[in-house]
Structure 1
Amino acid sequence: MHHVTKVHFGPLLSEVRTKVDSKRPILRYLVDKREGLKNTHPKELLVSDFSCFHSPFSLPDITEAVNLLLTYAKTNRKILLYGDRDSDGVSSTCLLAFFLRSHPEFQSAHLEVMVSSESDPYGLCKEAVTKIKKAKPDLLVTLDFGSSQADEIESLTELGIQVIVLDHHEVPVRIPKHCALVNPRRTDSDYPEKKICTAALSFKLVSAILFRESSEWNKLYAKTITNEDGSTEIVYFQNGIKVQKGSSTSSTSSDMAGQESSKSDNQIESNFDFSKKEVHPYPEDFTTNVPLDDERKLFFYQCQKIPQFFEQLEEETDLAGIGTITDMMPLVGENRHFVKLALESLTKLYIGDKKRKGLKELLKELKLNPNGITTKDLGWSIGPVVNAAGRMGKTEEAVSLLLSESEADAKTKAKNLLSINEERKERTKRNMDRVERYFARKPERTGHEVVYCYEPDMEPGVSGIVATRMVDTYKKPAIFVAPDNGDARGSIRSYGPENVLELLESLSHHFLHFGGHPEAGGFSITIDQLPKFESELYEKAKLWLSEDKDRPKEHLIETDFTVLPEEMNEKLRKEWMDLEPFGQGNPDIKLGIKNAKAIHLTPLSGGKHVRFHIVGSGSLKFMIWNKGEEFQNFMSKHGSFDLVGSLEENFYQGRSSLQFIVEWFGKSETK
């Protein structure tokens, strides 16, 4: 920990309170520092409700997807939902499946659910295509993959299988034919948010289905606006989207199977006579808790007119929030609202009688705080357990739990899923021990721009976790590879803002498959190709990083504030809690403490972890995970030290307490 190059200590709390002109100076200072939040209206920062969501009908191909699902569900043709193995894939698949199974209009739908397992390569691999052909669906919905697999999709549509893709990964130039591809990253997408996960897209699809089935569908609203030159014009809206003559609120795919190809249901023809259609006045007097743009305000107004609309959607937010956190989406804009509403929904689920029996039993088995589920619970408890099933080749176990319909069945499956997670932890530990020995034998391997590790005795299924730990240790992009079903599978994780997909693309001729996000990717490769891959990797990595001007040239930790030991308490933490949820794009508040002195030091787990107090902090506990021995060695040589970390609530055995989690300790070289 103490090898950090520099620490930039933020201002003292007293300085901020003196200099920032605001009723809440600490909160105002933090908001202004955060790029993704500083332009957010204060009320939208403090309040989250369904008014904050954009209409789903600006997503490309969403109307086609809705029409297809309604048509195939109501005619009892076979619908196959096929999801990816990770938490977002499982969450998005179960969200849509649960809705279709529980909603009265779709309960008779011929629905089948599949998910990929850890033994399958990524996406629509040949194994997945074989399974799909064997299932013989009329309609296939892929969730969390499919955007970059036009050839495979077209091979299925040629067999008469209609395809919907719900995905948020990077989209290539070629979009598959005869396919509804719902992806906000499409270059032709008008959707305001580009970085939302597939579970959020499942939520959007469900809300679009409910709206499509209502009397508000395709109603035309008009608003008269005054231009800067004093002239007036009429702006029209349909389904929460501004429309003009010749425009459409949904991008269309050509020649949709089983539908008219001339226009979508939500398209207004260029020669349409607006005066001949019933036009409703824009609700000028309608008020919301949060100041909204015209489109969101109107869509919320329309949704409020639909009986039980928000009540039906409330429970769907839970899995959307879990997917958002675990897939590391930036917690700004809609993602922020998804997670906040998910926490409310999960808390109600925990203490109430809701439909999701499986998720409720999982919360109980995890022994989470019934007084309020937190973002940390999503990211560190619920998400990893759901993810563990896929990592251990047992994705179906997570799906089976989340779709459970009885408490007894759900309780058994929740215990089973926690047992799988314990297996995952043990496998991770064994792999990490091997990684440490690997670099101890070959320390020169840590001198490259990218740290790489492969040995034949590594165990599969946890490569992403191990790669992330390698990044934390070596402060560089990291690749971890393990044997897997006769081949090998690797994961890459970024250290800074570099795009790991660019590196994988430059090495793609070695891979069987690859994919992922700019921050995290994966690939499969034959074992005999690994030596060639590694030898080329280091040269490609040099070129890759030399072109990345934003890459940090040194490891720097920046704190939001410098605090005195006596200032840290629950009252201080409450000053910024309105910034929750914390995570990707909106990190937890980082505090710096200078010249601290430890007392009452207690080694834990044989010295692996350590708990202590510092002089002046009262009863506040400080925790260091996985670096206990290093801290004790450091303490034996230094009388005082600097700390960087964050305050968090700890819930254990029915009791809550405040603690300080140490991210870094040492003697800082101040920037």
Structure 2
Amino acid sequence: MHHVTKVHFGPLLAEVRTKVDSKRPLLRYLVDKREGLRNIHPKELLSSDFSCLHSPYSLPDLSDAVELILSFAKAGKKILLYGDRDSDGVSSTCLLAFFLKSHKEFSNINLEVMVSSESDPYGLCKEALVKIKKVKPDLLVTLDFGSSQADEIEELTNTGIQVIVLDHHEVPVRIPTNCALVNPRRTDSIYPEKKICTAVLSFKLVSAILFRLSDEYGRVYVKTEVEEGSEKTSLVYFRNGIKIKEESLLSFSLDEKSILPYPEDFVTPIPVDTERKLFFYQCSKIPDFFSSLEEETDLAGIGTITDMMPLIGENRHFVKLALNSLTKLYAGDKKRKGLSELLRELKLSPQGVTTKDLGWSIGPVLNSAGRMGKTEEAVSLLLSETATDAKTKAKQLLSINEERKERTKRNMDRVERYFARKPERTTKEIVFCYEPDMEPGVSGIVATRMVDTYKKPAIFLAPDNGDARGSIRSYDKENVLELLESLSHHFLHFGGHPEAGGFSIQIDKIPAFEAELYDAAGKWLAQDKERENTHSIETDFTVLTEEMGERLLKEWKDLEPFGQGNPDIKLAIRNAKAIHLTPLSGGKHVRFHLIGSGSLKYMIWNKGEEFQKFMSGHGSFDLVGSLEENFYQGRTTLQFIVEWFGIAAENSTQSN
């Protein structure tokens, strides 16, 4: 509710319905406004299946990774999967482990699974290296870290350990040698998507292994294409679902008879490009290929949502496929016993698992184990082999999540008191908070809430095992890794994404770090010349109170899943009048109705007292927020979540 200086009101629904020539004008209008969606074929926008996914073989070093796993598994050599502690790390590790443990090809595999704990610094720290060397694996697969740790990987390879890295973080100039680095952000990557999470990379590795074990692997197909702008034709060759150059055929030792014609008559349910069509065609010829992969989509979708990947392109399809798979699992498919029991313990809606469930229920529970230093509890649950064991572990994980919530609440109380004592710190370019009594493990959540409150980049730091660990979150489009890089001489370790990073630091270095932070942040933010000094809200539509309801929500439901890159539909209401106001949690939150919108509930979180104070001086007001379905105690209801309230001018407002 704070710091809003401008509200851009979207058009009235009636205006859009009049001006947009479409059977579904609101949906068409929204799609055209969203760069990541507007050029997609309508069928691909509305539906998802495996034909929408790209061949994994365009990922760098993916083929090498497949061959390493197959050869080491066949030889009975020890394979160690070592994953990061967050939800993406846990999801990617368990996805690959579950496949290797359950597929008949790997029935005698010598496999061990490990994950980092909250007490470890990020990635291949010295503690991790000690653990790995103690296990003495022949093959190490790191999941969700490793791209930036060339020295550590080369230290391991020098001892005779072969390494595969599955990671999606930024790739530095120097990358590990003698290592299969599967990362779509590599400059030499031809994979069509750059921003996919590690759980999706695990899925890609699994699908590539299944394809490698089939007769379709290595087959070459040829297609005659008309060259653009002329009547000339040329031959285009494909292998493993990707285009290859004609000169590359020489390395395959093929004769003309072994080259197969492109399946021109084959029709995919959803129109896709030539490469995806061919790969789908090849996969459809492999017995049980898609049924084997369907259950692997669930963890790929969870990782995509919890790691805040943009929900456009392939990520959109992974989430939709995951929701279908999880809904089936929730309805009684017990193959993934651990995940199945977790869904039941969370008491989700029987009507189907939703994107909100992934981001607000399933993901946070899996994340909580790592935050509380108990990552192995999440892994143990997801790899459970019996329903009884899974039920016990699901309850344990939910208990850990409750501990995490309490710790977050205590830290947030301390943050509020901290800034109440030192309000001048909220005027800086970046909001920084550290005190010796802060509790570890939830720094990312607290930093995110600081950003939400102060509308600025934020750093939260807490003591942890003799040192301190911090999280930084961006507010707008700033790249936080650039700031961390400029201050890296203070850190023991640092890393992350452009939007979210983490670091560890010696406690006695914190004063010097903070002293340098504000000047460095000023220079960092000054580099972004287009950054606005004001916070504005863009709304999709301006809606009359009587237009609110389930019928309206259904008009854009096909745009789901909503999230990064495809935000939920933002609605504005003007000149609203509240009735039946009910304070919740001692006034911290508030629920009310609006005159004209029937029984629809409007919710304001964490700003209840401000709203009541505001209401005492205003008879009507403007609102910005989103419609959503809420499942609670066996009932699904519709509610409006308020993001902002105030008195707005036609296209601008002063902050309240």
Range class of TM-score, shorter chain: over 0.9
Report the 3-state secondary structure (helix = DSSP H, G, I; strand = E; otherwise coil) of the residue aligned with 1:581: coil
2:202 aligned with 1:222, yes or no? no
After superposition, residues 386-535 of structure 1 pair within 5 angstroms as 386-535=366-515
**How far off is 1:277 after superposition?**
5.6
Letter in 2 for 1:521: G
C-alpha separation between the residues in 1 aligned to 2:322 and 2:259? 36
C-alpha separation between the residues in 2 aligned to 1:27 and 1:604? 35
Of 633, 645, 652, the residue aligned with 2:625 is 645
After superposition, residues 317-328 of structure 1 pair within 5 angstroms as 317-328=297-308
Letter in 2 for 1:666: G
Deviates more, 1:309-318 or 1:604-613: 604-613
Q: State the 4+ residue runs in structure 1 displaced beyond 3 angstroms.
A: 272-277
Deviates more, 1:649-658 or 1:146-155: 649-658
* Contact 1:2/1:666 (8 A) holds in 2: no
* Contact 2:236/2:246 (8 A) holds in 1: no
Letter in 1 for 2:12: L
2:102 aligned with 1:102, yes or no? yes
Relative to structure 1, the CA distance from residue 59 to residue 277 in structure 2 (aligned partners, 3 Å threshold; closer, same or farther) is farther
Relative to structure 1, the CA distance from residue 401 to residue 550 in structure 2 (aligned partners, 3 Å threshold; closer, same or farther) is farther
Letter in 2 for 1:656: T
Report the 3-state secondary structure (helix = DSSP H, G, I; strand = E; otherwise coil) of the residue aligned with 1:105: helix
* Contact 1:496/1:552 (8 A) holds in 2: no
Of 520, 523, 543, the residue aligned with 1:563 is 543
Which residue of structure 1 aligns with residue 70 of structure 2? Answer: 70
After superposition, residues 57-456 of structure 1 pair within 5 angstroms as 57-227=57-227, 228-247=229-248, 268-269=249-250, 275-276=255-256, 278-456=258-436
**How far off is 1:55 after superposition?**
0.2
Letter in 2 for 1:234: L
C-alpha separation between the residues in 2 aligned to 1:17 and 1:626? 36
C-alpha separation between the residues in 1 aligned to 2:584 and 2:128? 46
**How far off is 1:653 after superposition?**
1.2
**How far off is 1:348 after superposition?**
0.2
* Contact 2:220/2:239 (8 A) holds in 1: yes
C-alpha separation between the residues in 1 aligned to 2:16 and 2:337? 47
Letter in 2 for 1:541: A
* Contact 1:169/1:185 (8 A) holds in 2: yes
* Contact 2:225/2:235 (8 A) holds in 1: yes
**How far off is 1:246 after superposition?**
4.2
C-alpha separation between the residues in 2 aligned to 1:510 and 1:65? 36
C-alpha separation between the residues in 2 aligned to 1:3 and 1:618? 31
* Contact 1:197/1:324 (8 A) holds in 2: yes
Letter in 1 for 2:43: K
Letter in 1 for 2:188: D
Relative to structure 1, the CA distance from residue 2 to residue 509 in structure 2 (aligned partners, 3 Å threshold; closer, same or farther) is closer
* Contact 2:2/2:453 (8 A) holds in 1: no
Letter in 2 for 1:537: L
Letter in 2 for 1:108: N
* Contact 1:246/1:269 (8 A) holds in 2: yes
Deviation track 1:645-666 (CA, whole Å, cap 9, x = no partner) reads 1010011111111111111111
Of 617, 623, 640, the residue aligned with 1:660 is 640
Which residue of structure 2 aligns with residue 622 of structure 1? Answer: 602
Report the 3-state secondary structure (helix = DSSP H, G, I; strand = E; otherwise coil) of the residue aligned with 1:118: coil
Deviates more, 1:298-307 or 1:622-631: 622-631
* Contact 2:237/2:246 (8 A) holds in 1: no
Deviation track 1:152-188 (CA, whole Å, cap 9, x = no partner) reads 0000001110000000000011221110000000000
2:577 aligned with 1:577, yes or no? no
Percent sequence identity over aligned pairs: 80
2:44 aligned with 1:44, yes or no? yes
**How far off is 1:2 after superposition?**
4.9
Deviation track 1:277-327 (CA, whole Å, cap 9, x = no partner) reads 601110000001211111000000000000000000000000000000000
Letter in 2 for 1:584: Q
Structure 1 portions without partners, runs of 5+: 248-267
C-alpha separation between the residues in 2 aligned to 1:562 and 1:229? 49
C-alpha separation between the residues in 2 aligned to 1:663 and 1:319? 30
**How far off is 1:128 after superposition?**
0.3
Relative to structure 1, the CA distance from residue 86 to residue 2 in structure 2 (aligned partners, 3 Å threshold; closer, same or farther) is closer
* Contact 2:3/2:535 (8 A) holds in 1: no
Relative to structure 1, the CA distance from residue 651 to residue 535 in structure 2 (aligned partners, 3 Å threshold; closer, same or farther) is same
* Contact 1:168/1:184 (8 A) holds in 2: yes
Q: Structure 1-normalised TM-score? A: 0.96
Deviation track 1:420-463 (CA, whole Å, cap 9, x = no partner) reads 00100010011001101111111110111100000000000000
Deviation track 1:490-514 (CA, whole Å, cap 9, x = no partner) reads 0000000110000000000000000
**How far off is 1:274 after superposition?**
5.0
CA RMSD of aligned residues (A): 1.0
Structure 2 portions without partners, runs of 5+: none
